[in-house]
Amino acid sequence: MTPGFDTADLRELVPAVIAVLGRRGADFASAEDAVQEALIRALETWPGDPPRDPKGWLVAAAWRKFLDATRSETARRGREVVVDAEPPAEPGAAADDTLRLYFLCAHPTLPSSAAAALTLRAVGGLTTRQIAAAYLVPEATMAQRISRAKKRITGLPLDRPGDLATVLRVLYLVFNEGYGGDGPDHTDLAAEAVRVTRQLVALTDEPEVAGLLALMLLHHARRDSRTGPGGALVPLAEQDRSRWDTTLIAEGVAVLQAALARDRLGEYQAQAAIAALHADAPSADETDWVQIVGWYDELLAITDSPVVRLNRAVAVGEADGAGAGLAALAAVDADVPRYAAVAAHLHERAGDRERAAALYAEAAGAAASVPERDHLTREAARVRQLLRDDAS
Amino acid sequence: MKYLILKHYRGGPGHPGMDYTPMDQWKPAEVDAHMQFISDFASRLQDTGEFVDSQALSTAGAFVRFDGEGRPPVTDGPFAETKDLIAGWMIVDVESWDRAVELAGELSASPGAGGEPIGEWLEVRPFLTGVPGNTE
């Protein structure tokens, strides 16, 4: 890539260019296709020959692609009349158009995998190839998924407020997909989710959007310390805190504080508050677990989620001792993912190593990822070694 | 040529009951050594340009089959025994069958309990990705 050409700048233009085509009368599905083609062309030609007016270039290229695609001469004449009649954008209209794109791409009628892909393409300005590589599926499969999603939302009215909760859920899914860690060659989904959420924060006045951004920033700040040699998982308590990104933490905390000051608490703000308390602790021992339990109580009141209940049991175990943690665990459904891992941890802290070892082995068998499985297998082996040492 | 190196939970020709000590009962250092070996093996194949893909499978799941029009599929599971199950695979793209066998042999030597090579059976299978011949 030549210096001075930043693909992020290019990608940020994508939603605005789709909106321009929309104002000229193009339907969403065709406009989005045309802009995608223009984007691919830009990625090929801009590094060697950057345009003076990037947005003007993209609009012109996308409009040409759109006209080519509509083919029929009469249609073409009709469209050109529309161009002449294109209303000048009112102040704030561009922002509204971009916001509508978020709602459309993450429409509640879409399966979440399709919503995530469409959001990354139309709002995030990624190419189909990049999205496919990030999700480890063939490019043709991803293209089809996106095209089917667009068919599904064709003709939906865009003039009513969309479902913000769905938009946030989709963005958080994209972030978590990337947070799991992927190779250096892949598109960084976590970074893309942060970028697109940042854009959304600038467009809305909703504290939960800021809460989600804060949560992402605070998790993102710890990313490098989450994995050891060979991709091994490093749990929070054992992470090298000097490797946490203090700039991201400071930003996350500032964004969160501004959101909390609005006094409209939601689940992302509460989760971000918990992440901020972890980020704030100079060492694992100095973590303010009592406050964390308080935030889990808030979170539970909002979501009543079994996963939150499970994580709360861990926090209670740290704040009030393993016995209290086990008592809190008794109220959690044993089918919740990671239940056995949490039970193992609490039983070990309570001094029951036999049970802890068996539970760690059970948890390894139920793990959802290889790093998690390997980590839990190591934990089982570690506790069994302690048992052998005790016996000898 | 692409080959699938398939890992089963246990067993192999003449060794239907071949048992390994479950990994959670190894010493922690042995577990680490095993995982490091696997990770080094994969990154070495990435360096040589022979690595294609590697996946591990959960022991959860079931057998499924069609049970007639308008009826839901029959499932048999969760599995009572893991010994016949596929644990995971690696796909390599190599020059020859001999190279695929050589690699599978190295992978099978991953250290187990006591630091000894496990010597488990791995199944090596060529992909049917050759150019179709004239069938007329």
> pLDDT tens, position by position, for chain A (392 residues)?
444 567 878 898 999 999 999 889 888 999 999 999 999 999 999 988 889 999 999 999 999 999 998 875 456 566 554 554 555 556 567 777 888 899 999 998 899 999 999 999 999 999 999 999 888 889 999 999 999 999 998 877 655 556 899 999 999 999 988 765 444 445 688 999 999 999 999 999 899 999 999 999 999 999 999 988 878 899 999 999 999 999 999 999 999 999 999 999 999 999 999 999 999 999 999 999 999 999 999 999 999 999 999 999 999 999 999 999 999 999 999 999 999 999 999 999 999 999 999 999 999 999 988 999 999 999 999 999 999 998 88
Interface contact A387, partner B, CB < 8 A:
no
Name the CATH superfamily for B2-126. Answer: Dimeric alpha+beta barrel (3.30.70.1060)
B20-to-B24, B80, B117 alpha-carbon distances in Å: 11, 18, 11
Phi and psi torsions of B62, nearest 5°: -165, 160
Burial (CB count <10 Å: 0-12, 13-18, 19+), residue B45:
buried
Instruction: Find the Cα–Cα–Cα–Cα dihedral B20, B25, B26, B29, rounded to 10°.
Output: 150
**How far, in Å, CA of A36 to CA of A71, rounded?**
18
Alpha-helical runs (H) found in chain A: 7-23, 28-45, 54-70, 73-84, 93-105, 112-118, 128-134, 139-153, 164-179, 189-203, 207-220, 246-260, 267-280, 289-303, 306-320, 322-329, 339-349, 353-365, 370-391
Nearest-angstrom CA–CA distance, A342 and A333: 12
- Tell me if chain A has a CB within 8 Å of the CB of B56: yes
Q: DSSP class of residue B23?
A: G
Instruction: Tell me the residues of chain B between 14 and 53 that have a Cβ less than 8 Å away from chain A.
Output: 22-28, 30-32, 35-36, 39-40
Q: Which of A366, A378, A384 sits opposite B25 (nearest CB)?
A: A384
Q: What interface predicted TM-score (ipTM) does this complex get? A: 0.85
d(CA B3, CA A349) in angstroms, rounded, equals 46
Q: Give chain B positions within 8 Å (CB) of A378.
A: 28, 31-32, 35
| Chain A / chain B CB contacts < 8 angstroms | 40
Q: Give the torsion sign (CA, A52, A56, A59, A62).
A: negative
d(CA A133, CA A126): 11
| pTM, full prediction | 0.87
DSSP code at position A386: H
Cβ within 8 Å, pair B32-A377: no
Q: With an 8 Å Cβ cutoff, are B28 and A370 in contact? A: no
Whether residues A381 and B25 touch (CB distance < 8 A) is answered with yes
CB-side neighbour CA atoms (13 Å) of A262: 15
Contact residues, chain A, for B26 at CB < 8 Å: 381
Secondary structure class of B5 (helix, strand, coil): strand
Contact by Cβ (8 Å): A308, A332 = no
Interhelix angle for A267-280 vs A207-220, to 10°? 30
Answer yes or no: do B30 and A381 touch at CB < 8 A.
Answer: yes
B28 CB neighbours in chain A (<8 A) are 378, 381-382, 385
| Residue A315 CB contacts under 8 Å (≥ 6 apart), including other chains | A289, A292, A293, A296
* Pairwise CA distance, residues B136 & B128, whole Å: 20
Contact state of A365 with B59 under an 8 Å Cβ cutoff:
yes
Query: Which residues from chain A sit within 8 angstroms of residue B31, using beta carbons?
Result: 377-378, 381
Query: ∠ CA(A131), CA(A132), CA(A138), 5° rounding?
Result: 170
Q: Domain extents for chain B?
A: 2-126
Q: Under an 8 A CB cutoff, do B36 and A385 touch?
A: no
